[in-house]
Structure 1
Amino acid sequence: MLRTRILCLTIAATLGALTGCGDSGGSTDSPSYDVATLDVGNYPTVPRDIEASRTELSGPRLEAARIGDAVPLPMEIDRRMVFKPTIYWERRITPADPRELPSIDKKEFSDLTQGLVAGWFTRAQRRESFQGSALQMFTLRFTDAAHAETAATRIADRQQETVPGEPVSIPGIPAAKAKWSVGKRYLDAQLTKDAMLLLVRVEDPLTEPVNTAPLAELAQRAFDKQLEGLKAYTPTPVDQLESLPIDVDGMLSRTLQLERSPTEKDGGDLSMVLAKQAALHTEFYPDLTKAAFEDAGVDLVSYSDDRVYRTKDRDAAERLIAAFIDQEAKGYKTIDSPPHMPGVKCFDLKDPKGNNYRYPPVCYVAYDRYVARIENKNVQQLHQQAAAQYKLLTQGR
């Protein structure tokens, strides 16, 4: 309740209260800048051809994003699950993008999930620290029901080998299988529905005495919500995956390209565009961000070297920035705006001993109905990156 009240008050008041951030002015309109004066360093400022990045990995990743848009947020299952624990935004699962399954090492992923087309992973917890209960879900699509059932059996068997547990019934869903690990304090459950395999893990490390009944009920709600959400998902035929669009409405072409280390394993371009529901799974505070998205009319978010949000109009873009600033205020201090870009709000880690992975230097740039979140560990490069991102947003709008 307090978090919601804070957000509501902030959206109404932050624009006025924070006009001192950086060297911003007092207008609620997104300022315009002379792009000829901006220092963009070596960053590109011309929209790229996104289709040129298409590979055989693209189709399954695009389908994974479509699945993600049908997956409920953990907080929609249990309103207490309002914290995302990691800095990473990737939630897609494909044969080329394996992920550790509950109690199973990533190295075993391919052997256990033969016939996988694509899937989505999400997790949230009750506390911002890793102490306390958590809920995670895997929503996996296979080529057919037989492959889904085989994967379910293999995963259950392997889980029992690695983390033995006692059988638990999921109320109202006799087809679901589950076990409770006394030592690890995990409840792992699985359910197949046609070609879909749903995996749910409920973690409860602190409650004494242990009572698995409410955990099984939470797993039941998770399955019910997943199945309800999947009604809105129409699987793309496998032979048509490569026809799915990589760039939606030019969002990615005007988002700075993800920089990759020369030594990084070549997994193709991981940039993506997500619809609102899928995007909320990537946010640190999904409850606050969902309210901010609804207020600002966010419908699409692009992810690459920067993150770009599309709102309903210019005023909404400014309100979204205000909401983001409020969410992160405890970890940040204000720093100067980029040269020749007064009004751009930038921040750096408040506590020198704090977590600069969680709170890297950041700038928020608005152009028309678009908001860009730019991060970089070096402030000079951050400013150049923000300038380049602004220039990109002005192209072709």
Structure 2
Amino acid sequence: MNSFGGSRLRRAAAVVLSCALAVTVAGCTIEGSAKPIDPNAAIDVNALDSGNYKTKPPNEGLGTVKSDSQGKLWEAKRLANYVINPVQVDDSLTRFVQPTFPIRDAAALSNGFGAVFTKATGAPAFKYNMDFGFIAGRASETSTTDNKNSSSLLIGVFVFPDDAAAKGAADEFLAAHKAPDPLIDPNKVPDTKPVSLPDYPDARALYTEDNTDKKPVISVFYPKGRYVIYQWVEGRKALPDLVTTAQTTLSKELPLLDQFKPTPNDKLKDIPLDTDNMLVRTLPADEPDSHQSAVYDQRGGIHFQTNSKIAEDNFAKAGVDRVSPGAASVYRAKDDQSAQQLLGLFYDELKSAYKPIASPDGLPAVRCYKLSDTKQAYAQFWCLGSRGRYAFEVTSSQMNDVYQKAAAEIKILVNNE
């Protein structure tokens, strides 16, 4: 299930549901019936009601990025595939939290909902001309019921023009976190103390307590080439335990980051907008968020799932190798049967939270559900389906709209067969 609401990829505490209560090899079984429905049967797409949703890409295809700014955003999205998920450091950190998003430029580091830093602590990103980055956040499940005793971990990678800029930024990020912050209290010097990471002597780190629950926190800024690897390690733990978490993160992130090859600035406009024709198979969002209009691999896609441990297992079982978020979220599985299997795994994750409703007209193999507890703030309606090796989900607060989204996504998939 995904962790974003509405048209976003994976909603924070929302779910992805299956093509039925039971998924068979032959297709999706309607509840109360033993007769399977083949999701790949011929469909009269002209008879489907897709409202005003766009179901055809431009005749010339999507092409390449249109500007250097867009190119850096696409690089930030690609970087997601080379940032480890916090659950790989601590398997109790399964719950999606903000900030988790591609960072398109220095301004995005400290602007808007879920910003990584304040304007004061993020100022070094401007001074040293940060190109782009990615941040991934996770917390323990107890963060929803016992936040005072929960744990969380943010892992970020910030890309700078060169090694010297990265080192300068790391030094000044640390200094900014030790100085008074106008947003919090312009006259108060934070109570911090330096922290060393024995295995990583070049790490810049400090210890403090968070402003709300007074939980211990260490902030880490580790320059590596033109990158700064950032961590926020928080939990009701002894300092040596927090240091162990930070060192484990670096031991896992550094080898992965070595595989990332940034596109040279003079080649940014050569970056293709699409990968493996996933975007042309995905219902586009009218006003995409920074993480949308992207194609992620398995690791990158897991960053946007509600429960990263479950998602990791589900993706592995179904052989998911591409994830594309838009007004629909599309998952490329190993084969047709695996796409149907994935929907069943999605349903199993939160089947107690939803009740089935009728399928859209003309799409009996698409299964739709309504949230049982209408007091919850999540999108009320979910529809899931598959076509070939592509599984998809759509959500909405309105039933007719979710039906139209499902119809539009089916049209797109059929038209790309």
Cα offset for 1:344? 0.9
> Is 1:227 aligned to residue 245 of structure 2?
no
1:328–1:193 Cα change, 3 Å: same
Residues 75-125 of structure 1: CA deviation (Å, up to 9, x unaligned) = 111111111135x9x621121761349873157646534321221110111
Amino acid at match of 2:90: D
Contact 1:24–1:344 under 8 Å retained in 2: no
1:243 is matched with 270
**Count of residue pairs the alignment pairs up:** 374
1:383 is matched with 403
1:193–1:22 Cα change, 3 Å: farther
1:362 is matched with 382
Contact 1:47–1:395 under 8 Å retained in 2: no
1:102–1:268 Cα change, 3 Å: closer
2:322 is matched with 300
Out of 201, 204, 207, the residue aligned to residue 232 of structure 2 is 201
Distance 2:258 2:280 in 1: 31
Distance 2:226 2:75 in 1: 14
Distance 2:34 2:153 in 1: 41
Any idea what SS the aligned residue of 1:215 has?
A: helix
Any idea what SS the aligned residue of 1:271 has?
A: coil
TM-score, normalisation: structure 2: 0.82
Contact 1:19–1:26 under 8 Å retained in 2: yes
Cα offset for 1:150? 1.6
**% identity of equivalent residues:** 27
Residues 247-292 of structure 1: CA deviation (Å, up to 9, x unaligned) = 112211221121239xxxxx99951111111111111111111111
Distance 1:325 1:221 in 2: 33
1:42–1:94 Cα change, 3 Å: closer
Distance 1:272 1:306 in 2: 12
1:212–1:96 Cα change, 3 Å: closer
Contact 1:75–1:124 under 8 Å retained in 2: yes
1:373 is matched with 393
2:141 is matched with 127
Residues 153-173 of structure 1: CA deviation (Å, up to 9, x unaligned) = 221111112443111221311
Q: Structure 2 stretches of 5 or more lacking a match?
A: 1-17, 182-189
1:24–1:155 Cα change, 3 Å: farther
> Is 1:159 aligned to residue 169 of structure 2?
no
Any idea what SS the aligned residue of 2:159 has?
A: strand
Distance 2:227 2:286 in 1: 34
Out of 94, 110, 113, the residue aligned to residue 82 of structure 1 is 94
Out of 117, 129, 132, the residue aligned to residue 131 of structure 2 is 117
Any idea what SS the aligned residue of 1:72 has?
A: coil
Residues 154-199 of structure 1: CA deviation (Å, up to 9, x unaligned) = 2111111244311122131111121111345221111101111011
Any idea what SS the aligned residue of 1:98 has?
A: helix
Amino acid at match of 1:57: S
Moved more, 383-392 or 28-37: 28-37
Cα offset for 1:22? 10
Distance 1:367 1:96 in 2: 40
Cα offset for 1:74? 0.9
Distance 2:34 2:409 in 1: 18
1:15 is matched with 23
Cα offset for 1:360? 3.7
Distance 1:231 1:140 in 2: 14
Contact 2:336–2:389 under 8 Å retained in 1: yes
For 1:247-258, list aligned pairs within 5 A: 247-258=274-285
Distance 2:292 2:115 in 1: 24
Amino acid at match of 1:369: R
> Is 1:211 aligned to residue 223 of structure 2?
no
Contact 1:31–1:343 under 8 Å retained in 2: no
TM-score, normalisation: structure 1: 0.86
1:50–1:275 Cα change, 3 Å: same
> Is 1:146 aligned to residue 164 of structure 2?
yes
Instruction: Note the aligned Cα RMSD (angstroms).
Output: 2.9
Out of 188, 202, 206, the residue aligned to residue 179 of structure 1 is 206
Cα offset for 1:319? 0.5
1:22–1:128 Cα change, 3 Å: farther
Cα offset for 1:66? 2.4
1:158–1:342 Cα change, 3 Å: same
Q: Structure 1 stretches of 5 or more lacking a match?
A: 1-9, 262-266
